[in-house]
């Protein structure tokens, strides 16, 4: 049986991280599957760009689009130099073992979003090239996969939609080959249109890639290696006392990630649930630890409140312009606009004459507000966060509200959702 491992940017941010990947890969090849008790017959390793490379590459495209070529080039050279330094530290010879992309893959005649995908995808290409060659040199049986040729998507740049039928066929064929090396190194987050152009699946999309690959190859499990012990009941950067949730149902995991929990990308669960493949979230600095297990028969969270922050929210309130206001008609109009502008809704509230929605404050919001203004009196507040507390009690809600500016709150018996003004620093 096969397994899928995913390593994010934090786990491969430097040479030591990559050595640790080697250690974890070797453990996987030598141990039996926890699900089937069979020896592994293949490990699909999905890898993100190193550290903060994706952010740096975003700046490269932004500079170029703004005509600031010098800044773009110096930022690009920084990225390349950083990768070269890591290669050297790993004992690899730049230019001999790996030839990194020299020029910025940017075409000024093409739209911004298309260029974005060509440039930003280089982060994953470089990280996987380096790691694949390193593992090969260390004596492992390894193959590097070029996902832009294997994971087929449409050309919705920066948020490409995957063609599962075509992709599954291509990937299965590659995976089921008789003499395939034991370890396959693949990029997360990126795919391709089939005519040579690279696409990206949306920021933090590598988990989603891992889930898709797990689904296509019928993996017996998928493991996401993280810099946290597993899924916690709160963000350790915000709450001082956190508790590990050892076992979780798919549905609860979807809800947690949709509410804003950063541990897994919201799109990760569905492809796994469809094939009942368990998902493990484990700490990369302690591979023997149990971590969290997400599956159909998960048990938790039990009796502990779970705090989830979804940051960077904007609360948009639409008020009727006239007395002919019909809630149902307005709802369908509003959601049509929201859907067409690709807004991501986190909460909805309505009264007799107003409708409020909290959405992620993305680059699509200004145009959507312009269109909403044609039909409604629109007001909005930004610099907000949505705090969801699951398994809550009235006392816990009161504690959470204390000292915070609450713009809106929705509570049911076990769940509270508060739209909170971000604290000013
Ligand atoms: N490297 C991409 C990002 O930072 C994808 C990922 O990390 O999942 O958004
Ligand atoms: Mg990343």
> Which residues lie below 8 Å from residue 277, measured CB to CB, with a gap of 6+?
214, 215, 218, 219, 220, 221, 222
Residue 153 Cα to ligand 1 middle (Å)? 17
Question: Ligand 1: does its nearest atom lie under 6 Å from the Cβ of 9?
Answer: yes
Report pLDDT digits (tens) over 67-126: 999 999 999 999 999 999 999 999 999 888 988 878 999 999 999 999 999 999 999 999
Q: What percent of the chain has pLDDT over 70?
A: 96
Residue 56 Cα to ligand 2 middle (Å)? 11
pLDDT of 233: 85
Taking alpha carbons only, the member of 133, 162, 157 closest to residue 147 is 162
Ligand 1 atom closest to Cα of residue 207: 8
Mean pLDDT, all residues of the chain = 92
Give mean pLDDT, residues 330-351. 92
DSSP characters over 192-234 = E-SSS-EEE-STTTHHHHHHHHHHHTT-SEEEEEESSSS-BSS
pLDDT of 115: 98
pLDDT of 58: 98
Enclosing H/E stretch for 295: strand 292-295
* pLDDT of 203 above 70: yes
Question: Ligand 1: does its nearest atom lie under 6 Å from the Cβ of 319?
Answer: no
Give mean pLDDT, residues 268-272. 95
Question: Ligand 1: does its nearest atom lie under 6 Å from the Cβ of 51?
Answer: no
Question: Ligand 1: does its nearest atom lie under 6 Å from the Cβ of 48?
Answer: yes
The pTM is what? 0.85
Q: Whose CA is nearest to atom 2 of ligand 1?
A: 204
Beta bridge partners of 281: 224, 292
Question: Ligand 1: does its nearest atom lie under 6 Å from the Cβ of 189?
Answer: yes
Report pLDDT digits (tens) over 209-258: 999 999 999 999 999 999 889 988 888 887 778 888 999 999 888 887 77
Q: Whose CA is nearest to atom 7 of ligand 1?
A: 204
pLDDT of 386: 94
pLDDT band at 425 (very low <50, low <70, confident <90, very high): very low
Q: Whose CA is nearest to atom 5 of ligand 1?
A: 204
Strand order in the sheet with 415-421: 345-350, 354-360, 306-319, 377-390, 415-421, 406-411
pLDDT band at 37 (very low <50, low <70, confident <90, very high): low
Question: Ligand 1: does its nearest atom lie under 6 Å from the Cβ of 203?
Answer: yes
pLDDT band at 23 (very low <50, low <70, confident <90, very high): very high
Report pLDDT digits (tens) over 357-380: 999 999 999 999 999 999 999 999
What is the C-alpha to C-alpha distance for residues 420 and 33, in angstroms, rounded to an integer?
44
pLDDT of 33: 55
Give mean pLDDT, residues 201-207. 95
């Amino acid at each position: 049986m096969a397994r899928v491992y995913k390593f994010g940017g934090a786990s491969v941010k430097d040479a030591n991280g990559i050595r640790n990947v080697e250690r974890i890969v070797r453990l996987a090849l030598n141990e039996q599957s926890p699900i089937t008790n069979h020896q592994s017959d293949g490990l699909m390793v999905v890898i993100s760009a190193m550290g903060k490379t994706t952010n740096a590459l975003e700046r490269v495209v932004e500079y170029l689009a703004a005509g600031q070529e010098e800044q773009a080039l110096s930022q690009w050279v920084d990225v390349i130099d950083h990768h070269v330094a890591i290669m050297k530290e790993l004992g690899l010879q730049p230019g001999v073992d790996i030839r990194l992309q020299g020029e910025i893959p940017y075409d000024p005649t093409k739209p911004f979003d298309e260029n974005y995908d060509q440039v930003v995808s280089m982060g994953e290409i470089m990280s996987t090239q380096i790691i694949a060659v390193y593992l090969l040199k260390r004596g492992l049986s390894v193959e590097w996969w070029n996902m832009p040729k294997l994971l087929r998507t449409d050309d919705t740049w920066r948020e490409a939609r995957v063609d599962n039928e075509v992709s599954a066929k291509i990937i299965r064929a590659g995976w089921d080959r008789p003499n395939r090396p034991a370890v396959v190194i693949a990029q997360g987050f990126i795919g391709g249109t089939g005519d040579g152009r690279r696409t990206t699946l949306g920021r933090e999309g590598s988990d989603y890639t891992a889930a898709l690959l797990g689904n296509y190859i019928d993996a017996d499990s998928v493991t996401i290696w993280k810099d946290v012990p597993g899924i916690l009941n709160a963000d350790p950067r915000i709450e001082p006392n956190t508790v590990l949730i050892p076992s979780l149902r798919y549905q609860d995991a979807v809800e947690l990630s949709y509410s804003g929990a950063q541990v897994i990308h919201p799109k990760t669960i569905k492809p796994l649930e469809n094939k009942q493949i368990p998902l493990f979230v484990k700490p990369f600095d302690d591979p023997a630890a149990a971590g969290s297990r997400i599956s159909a028969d998960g048990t938790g969270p039990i009796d502990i409140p779970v705090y989830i922050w979804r940051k960077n929210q904007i609360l948009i309130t639409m008020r009727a312009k006239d007395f002919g206001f019909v809630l149902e008609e307005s709802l369908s109009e509003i959601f049509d606009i929201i859907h067409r502008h690709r807004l991501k809704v986190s909460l909805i509230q309505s009264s007799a004459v107003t409708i409020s929605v909290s959405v992620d404050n993305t680059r699509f919001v200004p145009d959507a507000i312009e269109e909403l203004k044609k039909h409604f009196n629109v007001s909005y507040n930004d610099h907000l966060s949505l705090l969801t507390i699951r398994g809550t009690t009235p006392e816990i809600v009161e504690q959470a509200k204390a000292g915070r500016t609450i713009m809106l709150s929705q509570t049911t018996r076990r769940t509270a959702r508060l739209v909170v003004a971000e604290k000013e620093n």
